[in-house]
Amino acid sequence: MSDATIPTESAGAAPTGAESGPTGAESGPTSAESAPTSAESWAAEPRPPRSALSDEATTLDAADRLRAKRDAFTLDDVIYLDGNSLGALPRAVPHRLAEVVAREWGELRIRSWEESGWWTAPERIGDRVGRLVGAAPGQVVVGDSTSVNVFKAVVAAVRIAQARGAHRDQILVDETTFPTDGYIAESAARMTGCTLRPVAAGDVPTAVGARTAAALVNHVDYRTGRLHDLPGTTAAVHAAGGLVVWDLCHSAGALPVGLDDHGVDLAVGCTYKYLNGGPGAPAYLYVARAHQPRFDSPLPGWNSHADPFGMASAYTPADGSARGRVGTPDILSMLALEAALEVWDDVTIEDVRAKSLALTDFFLRCVEDYVPTGRVQSLTPAAHAERGSQVALRCADAGEVMAELTRRGVVGDFRRPDVLRFGFTSLYTGFAEVERAARVLADVLAKEG
């Protein structure tokens, strides 16, 4: 890779101390073993002729252990690089949904809450999600949106920290967070008598202190695709006596997270991106087993009651992950998600991560080779230890470029004002598609510029 050809954003992409080390959640090689990161290392390699990259794509596709998984999805000739926003439709879903509607709702009606396992679906499906993010059973519950789960998690984290006795009145939030997390953390701070302190995600380990109640951090930045140091940050927040809440929207289903291994307190995430649960699919909440008895939900709905059908006027929280529930679960979306998760049954997240890094490396090389010099700037870190499963390219006319790409059958997305985002989904993205996407992108950039 030539940093000279695809310059990386200097402020945003420079590794900080906390972010540059191996993350522990990583299974892939570190930057030292991966693509060259300096102009010097690039200069030592002959630039391959164009056809060499398409030949290489053929070889990579032939060796791809996950290649057959593509058949588990409904796809067409469009090169779909937006699975980091909305995952593709798994083939198992329409049939399962039809069955749920016709048989479980249509015929069994109210009996399905028991007989079709509707009532316990949030915990049952939570355990399936848990397997993908490194959580042992009984700690993840599915339901509500990520936004709502951020609220539950942050308020509960602050309450746990404050109940420990010490005076803690600060919430740290990743300053480039997806906006909903920031808005909700601000409201949670007001509710709990805290102030909200935005800091760069990489600076959380040094910003955390005796007054920190909780830190809310994104595992992967939604805009740049930067992977943050989950083990190191979690350890630093713990050393200061606080709790950490991770937003896993852009990492679950894309890379190993290791929630239990790294002692994470609470985590939230959505299921409509790399988990392919469908538009508006329910989100999830992880509460580490050790915290469950003290998890004091700010939304103690009847579904999280120890005896929901006792209809008592006083609230007694349920044990376990059910304490994170609120109201009646959205069963149709939830069971669509359950069917979507079947594609993971014979897949390891380590294989997904290895392919994801190979896809993003290959895309960056193709862009570098095909795109006119200086036309785009990569916001995505070159180092594997700092990269999620997307590539973000900055260019001034990104809106027009993405519109034209979409017209030509290459779908990524545009984030204002100037970012092209391309998501790489190991379960269904192939290397030949990646090479073709880069070729179309180069053509569009040459014409639009």
Ligand X SMILES: Cc1ncc(COP(=O)(O)O)c(C=O)c1O
Listed in sequence order, the residues at least 6 apart from 152 whose beta carbon sits closer than 8 Å to its beta carbon are: 144, 285, 297, 298, 299, 324, 326
Is the four-CA dihedral 343, 347, 353, 354 of positive or negative sign? negative
230 vs 354 by CB, closer to ligand X = 230
422 an active-site residue? no
Give the span between the Cα atoms of 174 and 197, in whole angstroms.
9
Cβ 251 to ligand X shortest distance, Å:
9
Site string for ligand X, 108-147 (x = CB under 6 A): -------------------------------------xxx
Q: Is 178 a catalytic residue?
A: yes
- Contact, 56 vs 240, CB < 8 A? no
- Judged by CB under 6 A, the residue of 180, 187, 348, 406 near ligand X is 180
Q: Phi-psi category of 155—alpha, beta or left, where left has phi over 0 and alpha has psi -120 to 50?
A: alpha
Q: From the CB of residue 301, how many other CB atoms can be counted at a distance below 10 Å?
A: 15
The pairing of beta strand 212-218 with beta strand 377-378:
unpaired
Q: What are phi and psi of 304, to 5 degrees?
A: -100, 10
Q: Does residue 428 have an active-site annotation?
A: no
Give the binding range for ligand X (CB under 6 A) out of 135-143, 242-250, 342-350, 395-403. 242-250
Please, is 162 exposed, middle or buried when counting C-beta atoms within 10 Å of its C-beta (0-12, 13-18, 19+)?
middle
Distance CA 80, CA 410 (A): 6
**Residue 429 known to bind ligand:** no
Q: Distances in Å between the alpha carbon of 244 and those of 204, 262, 322?
A: 10, 11, 20
List binders of ligand X among 249-288 (CB under 6 A).
Answer: 249-250, 270, 283
179 is known to lie in a ligand binding site: yes
Binding of residue 247 to ligand X (CB under 6 A): yes
Among 73, 80, 178, 246, binds ligand X (CB under 6 A): 178
Q: Which of 73, 151, 272, 363 is catalytic?
A: 272
- When binding is defined by CB under 6 A, the residue of 218, 304, 378, 425 that contacts ligand X is 218
Number of residues binding to ligand X, judged by CB under 6 A: 13
CA angle, corner 197, sides to 194 and 199, nearest 5? 155
Could you tell me the maximum CA-CA distance found in the chain, to the nearest angstrom? Answer: 74
> Is 176 labelled as part of a ligand binding site?
no
* Active-site annotation holds for 418: no
Catalytic, out of 82, 229, 247, 361: 247
Q: Assess whether 355 carries a catalytic annotation.
A: no
Least separation in angstroms between residue 201's CB and ligand X is 12
419 touches ligand X by CB under 6 A: no
Is 120 labelled a binding residue?
A: no
Residue pair 413/223 in contact by the 8 Å Cβ criterion: no
Return the number of the residue (79 or 285) whose C-beta is nearest ligand X. Answer: 285
| Residue with tokens 């090389």, as numbered in its chain | 365
247/368 with CB nearer ligand X:
247
User: Is residue 119 annotated as involved in ligand binding?
Assistant: no
Q: Pick from 80, 151, 222, 344 the residue near ligand X by CB under 6 A.
A: 222
Distance between CA 1 and CA 438 in Å, rounded?
Answer: 14
**Nearest-approach distance from CB 17 to ligand X, in angstroms:** 24
174 touches ligand X by CB under 6 A: no
Residues with active-site annotation: 178, 247, 272-273, 421
Binding site for ligand X (CB under 6 A): 145-147, 178, 180-181, 218, 222, 247, 249-250, 270, 283
Q: Binding site for pyridoxal 5'-phosphate, residues?
A: 146-147, 178-181, 247, 250, 272, 302, 328
